[in-house]
Structure 1
Amino acid sequence: MGLYDRIVVPTDGSAASRPAIEHAVELAAVHDAEIHALYVINLASLSGVPTEGSMEGISEALEQEGETALEMVTEAAAIRDVPVEQVRLEGRPSQQIVAYATDHDGDLIVMGTHGRGGLDRLLLGSVAERVVRSATVPVLTVQDAGAEFSD
């Protein structure tokens, strides 16, 4: 057994998540750990959708986005022969990430951050920040190298 056995890697499929995925895969390879790749659909953010027909199309698009995001993790892990469990969840992302890590004995959460600061972070919120504040397991945030951080 290594220091880490189960590394939880939430992803939204964005470019900002790639450095975190790569970092998580390297850690998993070194510690002989498995990765639990999470994609969380935030249904609350869809409350303004006007009709049920629109909701069906959005739901399909989100499912496809989730599949693509999770495959990104699986492909990166395959290069280093790291096992991956793909998990799709629904709810508030920060809550689902923390609950999953807790309920499945996660040893570490590795997630990307866009590096927003100041007013951008205040207006948009930060899933990574909420996870850091509420998780009972260590959280490693990896900033997108292309992000411009501001205070």
Structure 2
Amino acid sequence: MFNKILYTTDFSDESKRAFALATSIAATHQSKLFIVHVTETTVPVTVLPPASAATSLPPVVPTRDELSEQLNRITPGDPIVQYEQELLSGVAGNEIVSFTIDTAINLTVMSTHGRSGLERFLLGSVAEYVVRHATRPVLTCNAEFQ
């Protein structure tokens, strides 16, 4: 029985598909759904763009308030699903695994992005880290899940 389900989001389209699945499972099992986003506090690795793109502006990093607003917009459409939202800071994989232990989560639902090669080497895989270190089941949805 899954009485506490964790859904992690990075606000991408892939994670939105995982949210539909997490909400469905929570409704079926009458579980509490924890909706979590982790703000990375590590120093990002920057890959220099080609010279033709050098004049473009760097990406805008959202503030904590903006992230909270985004997180607050993610709510289950089914009124039977009780939920809480948490905005965490740190290294995403570590924070997710710690949250599952501290909150006694029974199931984690998260998306994968299908990165490979250099991009995966540089950015890593949060989903892979969570699967390897979690003490409870982790359900991953790949980028092609509909």
Tell me which interval the TM-score lies in, with the shorter structure as reference length: 0.7 to 0.9
Q: CA deviation at 1:143?
A: 1.2
Amino acid at match of 2:20: E
How do residues 1-151 of structure 1 correspond to structure 2 at under 5 angstroms? 3-45=1-43, 58=61, 61-72=63-74, 74=75, 77-145=76-144
1 or 2, which has the higher helix percentage? 1
Identity across matched positions, percent: 36
Tell me which amino acid in the other structure corresponds to 1:61: T
Q: List runs of 5+ in structure 2 lacking aligned partners.
A: 47-59
d(CA) in 1 for partners of 2:111, 2:3 = 20
| Residue 79 of structure 1, CA deviation | 2.9
**Maintained 8 Å contact 2:7/2:36:** yes
CA gap of 1:9–1:38, structure 2 versus 1, over 3 A, is same
Count of residues in correspondence between the two structures:
132
Q: Distance in 2 between matches of 1:28 and 1:100?
A: 18
Equivalent-residue separation in structure 1 for 2:22 and 2:91 (angstroms): 23
- TM-score under structure 2 length normalisation: 0.80
* Structure 1 pair 99–135 and aligned structure 2 pair: CA distance change class (3 A): same
**Letter of the structure 2 residue corresponding to residue 68 of structure 1:** Q
Q: In the aligned structure 2, how far is the partner of 1:9 from the partner of 1:106?
A: 10
For residues 62 and 119 of structure 1, the distance between their equivalents in structure 2, rounded to whole angstroms, comes to 29
Deviations 1:93-135 (A, max 9, x none): 1000000011111000100111123333223210000011111
Large movers: runs of 4+ above 4 Å = none
The 1-side partners of 2:120 and 2:12 are apart by 17
Q: Give the Å deviation of 1:70.
A: 4.4
Give me the whole-angstrom Cα distance separating, in 1, the residues matched to 2:90 and 2:18: 22
Q: Secondary structure at the match of 1:99?
A: helix
What is the TM-score when the length of structure 1 is the normalising length?
0.78
